[in-house]
Amino acid sequence: MTKEEIIEGIKKGDSRSLSKAITLAESSLESKQELALQIIEHFGPQKDTLRIGITGAPGVGKSTFIESVGVGFLQDPTRKIAVLSIDPSSEISQGSILGDKTRMNQLSSMDGVYIRPSASGNNLGGVAKNTRLAILLCEAAGYNTIFIESVGVGQNETEISKLSDLFILLISPGGGDELQGIKRGIMEVADIIVINKADGNNKHQAQITAKEYSMALHLKPKNKNQWIPKIIIASAYKKNGIQSFIKKCLDFDDHIKNQWKQLNREEQMTYWAKKNIQYLLLSKVDRYNEKINLGIEKGVLPERLARDILE
């Protein structure tokens, strides 16, 4: 497909054209990435969208939760939903299963939905290197509600908050206590904390966990956006708490529909500009492999070796 054909296809809502454009953005070839950038620049920024980042430890139920929430959002006929799910890549084979779409059978069969799994590659932070470009392409295609599902992450992996307007942290019942809730890192940047899997024998524990985190939130300074973080108890499997969660998302969207939303996205653009400069510099490291290997053989400290090579 030519650039012009992809652009026309995206205008018409053709998911195949959108997938082709995202594939170009994810390519390691500079020429293909440049083509993707030209496609994005053709459409320009789309401001009336809501980007929702969702993260949590492995097994907390992110995919099931996104499906339940997505189905709920689609009760509003003006909503078009894109789900960008990031799967971890193997350190050994560099491959990824990319199976999150199979966990969203109901959502993937509905109109106005686009689901795209991507591999994290060697990128840290829970997202893929070019997830941001995929978001922009989905918005260009008319998807006004974008879910970004990170890989299962730990406490200080907060990069997904640099891609989203609204940052959601999913926690399992019993996933921590009040002390855990006041630790720095991912807790302090979450806009909504969801205690998921609150069903069966987990109901009581979920209430305890929610109370402990609620107490912890009172000890935190206000978020920069002046939004007071919320705690939701939910069961994606039983569809409990989903409508309450959606209402909080809409409340948040109304809250930031002022200068803050634009400022936040400008700050994110600055962050990713610097990040991409780092990527470009790291891509040039391969040319120094021989010097690195020789230096290590001679017992030179890595820190000293790096300084010597760059001087």
Nearest to 122 by CA among 91, 158, 153, 160: 91
Whichever domain contains 14, its CATH number is 1.20.5
Cα dihedral 124, 127, 128, 132, rounded to 10, equals -130
Give this prediction's pTM: 0.85
Note the pLDDT of residue 151.
75
Is the same domain home to 156 and 248?
yes
Is the same domain home to 233 and 266?
no
Is the same domain home to 309 and 270?
yes
Is the same domain home to 147 and 263?
no
Whichever domain contains 186, its CATH number is 3.40.50.300
Is the same domain home to 82 and 170?
yes
Is the same domain home to 223 and 160?
yes
Asked which of 240, 257, 274 is the last residue of a domain, the reply is: 257
In terms of Cβ atoms closer than 10 Å to its own Cβ (0-12, 13-18, 19+), residue 294 is: exposed
Note the pLDDT of residue 128.
66
Note the pLDDT of residue 92.
44
Q: How many domains does one find in the chain?
A: 3
Is the same domain home to 81 and 5?
no
Note the pLDDT of residue 157.
65
Is the same domain home to 93 and 25?
no
Note the pLDDT of residue 102.
67
Is the same domain home to 211 and 231?
yes
Q: Which residues of 243-263 are buried (b: 16+ CB within 10 A; e: fewer)?
A: eebbebbeebbebbeeeebee
Note the pLDDT of residue 175.
66
Compute mean pLDDT per 10 residues along the chain, 311 residues long, and list them: 93 94 89 93 90 90 94 96 79 48 83 88 60 93 94 68 92 67 66 93 92 80 81 94 96 88 91 86 78 88 84 72
Q: Which residues contact 156 (CB under 8 A, 6 or more apart)?
A: 184, 185, 186
Is the same domain home to 64 and 162?
yes
For residue 281, what are the domain limits?
A: 259-311
Is the same domain home to 72 and 38?
no
- Tokens read off for 216: 């912890």
Asked which of 212, 242, 257 is the last residue of a domain, the reply is: 257
Is the same domain home to 224 and 278?
no
